[in-house]
Amino acid sequence: MRPKPIARRSNAIRLKTRLAAFARRRPRLYASRHVILATAEVLAGILGVGAIFAFLIPNIDWSWIPWPSLDLSWLRDLWPDWLTLRWLWPSWLHFNLPDWLRQVLACMKWVVPIVVAIAVSFNEVRRRRLRKISRQEQPQDE
């Protein structure tokens, strides 16, 4: 007589089960996990790309590449001036942004994903809370 095979769950299924249980027990902490991951991804991208541009690229000797010498100034003559829409912008309306505002606007491409992740996590917590309340209010069929 052969022994019965033991049903074993894979690690991926075990991890999904643990994450689902964690989400039910602590929905706010589970939702904030996404914010922390998004922040870590942004920081890793900033630090990684910054390290490449600061240390790696300036130290490489690029003289071995045969760069072509192309004169593409004739392309400007093909584009009509009226398509630039400069004539719509009044000449007296030119202004310079303060340096601090220019730096804030430059950082917005990294701040916006974090803010969106925070908003999505708050929305998810609210949605789960409302679903839990609606389940508790439903009459139990016996």
Residue type, 17: T
- The string of pLDDT tens digits covering residues 93-122 is 677 888 988 888 888 888 888 888 889 888
Over residues 33-50, mean pLDDT:
85
* The pLDDT of residue 12: 78
- The band of 82, judged by pLDDT with boundaries at 50, 70 and 90, is low
What six digits make up the tokens of 66? 């045969």
DSSP string, 72-132: -TTHHHHS-GGGG-TTTS-GGG-----HHHHHHHHHHHHHHHHHHHHHHHHHHHHHHHHHH
- The string of pLDDT tens digits covering residues 83-93 is 666 666 666 66
* The pLDDT of residue 70: 82
* The pLDDT of residue 93: 66
* The pLDDT of residue 54: 79
Q: Where along the chain do its domains lie?
A: 15-59+97-142
Phi, psi of 75 (to 5 degrees): -70, -30
Q: Is the pLDDT of residue 125 over 60?
A: yes
